[in-house]
Amino acid sequence: MGGVRTALFNYLFAKKHGGDFLLRIEDTDQTRYVTGAEQYIIDSLQWCGLKPDEGVEQGGPHAPYRQSERKDIYRRYADQLLISGNAYYAFDTPEELDEIRKSFEAEKKTFAYNAVERLKLKNSLTLSEAETQQLLATGAPFVVRFKMPENEEIVLQDLIRGEVKFNTVTLDDKVLFKSDGLPTYHLANVVDDYLMEITHVIRGEEWLPSLPLHALLYRSLGWKSSMPAFAHLPLILKPSGQGKLSKRDGDKLGFPVFPLEWKDPVSNEISTGYRETGYFPEAFVNILALLGWNPGTEQEVFSLDELIQAFSLERVGKSGSRFDPEKARWFNQQFLRNRSNMELAEIFAEELNQKGIASSMEYIENVIDLVKERVEFAKDFWGQAWYFFTAPDQYDEKVVKKRWKEGTGKIMLELSGVLDQVELFEPENIKSAIETFVNERSLGFGLVMNALRLALVGGSMGADLVTMVSMLGKGEVKERINKAVQTINK
C-alpha cells in the first residue's frame, strides 16, 4: 500500500501540472532482488489505472529504465566524484568493519564511517596513491564512499515539511558504488533523476535522512541548479495508530496491505491482495489518496480525474495517517453503489455461471437492484441473493420455532392457492391478494408474511417479500411452499 500510495501521489501531481509520470525499476541491490517483483509492480499500477508515460514497457527518451542496465553510466559519475575529491575508495572488509563495530559497542559507543573515523581506516584517504592503485590492480574488494564535508549545516526545503536542517557532523560517508560494478540507491537515483529531467521527487519520509546526501551529490556533480524539488510523505500507520503499517501486518490484522495477491518466491508465503479480496481499483485508489492528503472539502468519494483536479502537495500532512479497514470497506461500498446494475450483473453472472446457474441478464439486474444496498463487495451478492436462484434445502430451526406454529402449514397451502389465482403476477396485485386472504381469515399479517418468507428462503433474511414473490414466479413459489410444508411439518 505504501509503495502504491507514493506512486499515486507522484501520478496525481504530474497529471495535475501537465507533467510525465515515469516508472523506473531500481534493481541495483542484487542481494534484495526478488523474482517477479518487477512484473508485480507493473501489474499493480495497471490495475490501479496509473499508466506511466515512460518506463520499462512504454520506453521513452530516457531509456533504459532498469537501473541494472545503466551501470556504465553510474561508473562514469562515480569516477567524476573520485577525481573531484568528493568521494574515495574504501577497502575495509565487512569482517574488519564488524570487528570495529563490536569494539565500539563494548565501550557503549556507536560506530559510524564518518569524517572522524575515516582517517583511521583502510581507504584512499589514508593510503598512498601507489598503495591504492596496487589494491585496485590486484582486484581487492572495494566500495566508493562519499566524502561528507566536516561540520557543515545543510538547509533545504521540503514541499511538505518546509525548511529542514541537517549538520554533516551527524552524517556518515555513505557507500555510492560497489566493486560488483553497481551503484547504491543514493548515486543511482541522483544520476537518473538528473539525466531523466525529474523535476519533483515525492517519496516516503523514511528517505528524509538521505536528503542532505542527495543534495550534496547534486552540488558535487555540478548539478545544484537542476536539483529537483523534494516532498517526503507521512507514514501510513496501523489501525491502532501505533507504529508504521508493515507488509506483514495485513493478514495478521485481518485486511490486505498488498494491491494484488503476492506469493513470495522463496518462502511461498501468500499475502492477500485488495483485488482478490474484491475491492474495485477505483476504491483502492480513493482509500490511498486520503491517507495523508485531504481535499479541504467534505467530499470523500473521488474518481481518478477528480483526484487529479483536487490534488495538491500543500494539503498533504506531516503526521502519520492511520489506516482504517472499516472505512476502506465503506469506500468499496460507495463505488459498488455507484456502478450500474448492468455492470454489477455482469460480475455476478460470472459467479452464477461457475455455479452452473443459468439466468437472464434482465433477471440478474433486477436482483442486483434489490440487494446492492446490502453489500460491500460484489462477492457478497450470492450471500444476499442466492434464494433468487435456488430453493432452500434447509430451514433455520430458530425461525421455524418462532414463526411456524400448528396449522401454519395449512395456511401456507391455502395462500399458495390464492397466489395461483392472481392473473397479473406483479407486486401490487400480489400484496392485495395476500391482504385480502389475511383479512378474510382474520389472520395476523405478520404471521402469514413471516411464514411465507421462511418457506421461500429458509429463514428470516431476504429482500422485500412481495417483490421476491413476483420475481420468483407462481410456479417456483408454489413449489417452495409445498416443499417447506412437507419438510417442516415432518
Residue 31 — pLDDT band, cuts 50, 70, 90?
A: confident
- The Cα–Cα gap between 187 and 356 comes to 58
Q: What is the arithmetic mean of pLDDT over 53-75?
A: 96
Decide if 114 is inside a domain. no
Q: For strands 87-90 and 229-233, give the pairing.
A: unpaired
Nearest-angstrom CA–CA distance, 420 and 448: 16
- Indicate whether 302 pLDDT > 90: yes
Residues 279 and 359 in one domain: no
Q: Give yes or no for residue 109 having a pLDDT over 90.
A: yes
Q: Which of 79-83, 229-233, 254-258 has the lowest mean pLDDT?
A: 254-258
pLDDT category at 249 given cuts 50, 70, 90 is: confident
Q: What's the average model confidence in pLDDT over 293-317? A: 97
Query: Average pLDDT of 18-44?
Result: 93
Residue 212 has a pLDDT of 98
The structure's pTM equals: 0.91
- Please check whether residues 226 and 303 belong to one and the same domain: no
The pLDDT score that the predictor gives to residue 179 is: 85
Average pLDDT over residues 81-95: 97
What is the predicted pLDDT for the residue at 146?
98
Residue 354 has pLDDT above 80, yes or no: yes
Predicted confidence band at 258 (pLDDT cuts at 50, 70, 90)?
A: very high
Is 90 exceeded by the pLDDT of residue 235?
Answer: yes
Q: What confidence score (pLDDT) does residue 248 get? A: 81
| pLDDT recorded at residue 440 | 95
> Does residue 108 sit within a domain?
no
Q: Is residue 310 part of a domain?
A: yes
For residue 17, the model assigns a pLDDT of: 98
- Asked if 328 and 287 count as a contact pair (C-beta separation under 8 A), the reply is yes
Position 411 scores a pLDDT of 97
236 CB-side CA count, 13 A:
23
- Do 289 and 348 fall within a single domain? no
User: What is the number of structural domains in the chain?
Assistant: 4
* Domain of residue 279, CATH code: 1.10.1160.10
What CATH code is carried by the domain that includes residue 364?
Answer: 1.10.8
* pLDDT above 80 (res 59): yes
CATH assignment of the domain containing 6: 3.40.50.620
Catalytic residue among 102, 247, 263, 405: 247
Q: Is residue 122 part of a domain?
A: no
Domain shared by 454 and 484, yes or no: yes
Residues 361 and 312 in one domain: no
| pLDDT tens for each residue of 399-429 | 999 999 999 999 999 999 999 999 999 999 9
Last residue of a domain, one of 175, 210, 235: 235
Does residue 425 sit in the same domain as residue 410? yes
What are 125-136's pLDDT values in tens digits?
Answer: 999 999 999 999
Q: What are all long-range contacts of 220-223, with beta carbons under 8 Å and residues at least 24 apart?
A: 220/81, 220/84, 220/86, 220/87, 220/146, 221/77, 221/80, 221/81, 221/190, 221/191, 221/194, 223/194
Domain presence at residue 76: no
Do 484 and 401 sit in the same domain of this protein? yes
* pLDDT, tens digit, 9 for 90 and up, residues 206-227: 999 999 999 999 999 999 999 9
**pLDDT, averaged across the chain:** 96
Last residue of a domain, one of 174, 203, 235: 235
One DSSP character per residue, 205-229 reads: GGGGGGHHHHHHHHHHTT-GGGPPE
Whether the per-residue pLDDT at 144 is higher than 90: the answer is: yes
Instruction: Report the distance separating Cα 126 and Cα 40, nearest Å.
Output: 46
Q: Are residues 58 and 195 in the same domain?
A: yes
In a domain, 96, yes or no: no
- To the nearest whole percent, how much of the chain has pLDDT over 70? 100
Enclosing domain of residue 445: 397-489
| Domain shared by 463 and 323, yes or no | no
Q: What is the pLDDT of residue 203?
A: 97
Return all residues near 358 (Cβ < 8 A) that are at least 6 apart: 352
pLDDT at 185: 94
Residue 33 has a pLDDT of: 86
- In a domain? residue 267: yes
pLDDT at 251: 77
* Residue 479 CB neighbours (<10 A): 14
pLDDT band at 32; cut points 50, 70, 90? confident
pLDDT at position 82, please?
98
Residues in the chain: 490
Residues 265 and 313 in one domain: yes
Instruction: Identify whether 211 is part of a domain.
Output: yes
Q: In DSSP terms, which residues pair with 230 in a beta bridge? A: 158, 201
Active site residue 478: no
DSSP string, 388-413: GTS--SS--HHHHHHH--TTHHHHHH
Name the DSSP class of 25.
B
For 323-346, what is the mean pLDDT? 97
| Whole-number Å distance between alpha carbons of 131 and 279 | 61
Q: Residues 57, 37: one domain? A: yes
CATH code, domain with 485: 1.10.10.350
Asked whether residue 401 falls in the same domain as residue 445, the answer is yes
Residue 488 grid cell: 417442516
* pLDDT at 342 > cutoff 90: yes
